[in-house]
């Protein structure tokens, strides 16, 4: 598993622990966006959007 996928999974698990139930609907979608942003910031060591997008696993470009 690539570093970006490992980081993404770890961040997602940490965020999910903050909720007593499994997030659904719009909340789940918004949390996925948050997780992608945090993953990009952590791996890209930057807050510039192009650098964030290049570090997020999957096809978001």
Measured from the Cβ of residue 22, the count of other Cβ atoms closer than 10 Å reads 8
What span, in angstroms and rounded, lies between the C-alpha atoms of 4 and 39? 8
Residue spans per domain, the chain: 3-55
The model's pLDDT over 8-55, given as tens digits with 9 standing for 90+, comes to: 999 999 999 999 999 999 999 999 999 999 998 888 887 777 877 787
CB 43 within 8 A of CB 3: yes
Token reading at 51 = 């650098």
Q: Which residues, 6 or more positions from 7, have their beta carbon under 8 angstroms from its beta carbon?
A: 39, 42, 43
pTM of the full predicted structure? 0.75
Q: Interior CA angle at 17 toward 26 and 42, to 5°?
A: 85
The model's pLDDT over 44-60, given as tens digits with 9 standing for 90+, comes to: 887 777 877 787 777 65
């Amino acid at each position: 598993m690539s570093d970006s996928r490992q980081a993404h999974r770890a961040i997602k698990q940490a965020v999910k622990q903050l909720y007593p139930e499994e997030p659904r609907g719009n909340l789940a979608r918004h949390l996925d966006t948050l997780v992608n942003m945090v993953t990009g910031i952590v791996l890209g060591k930057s807050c510039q959007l192009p650098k964030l997008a290049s570090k997020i696993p999957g096809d978001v470009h």
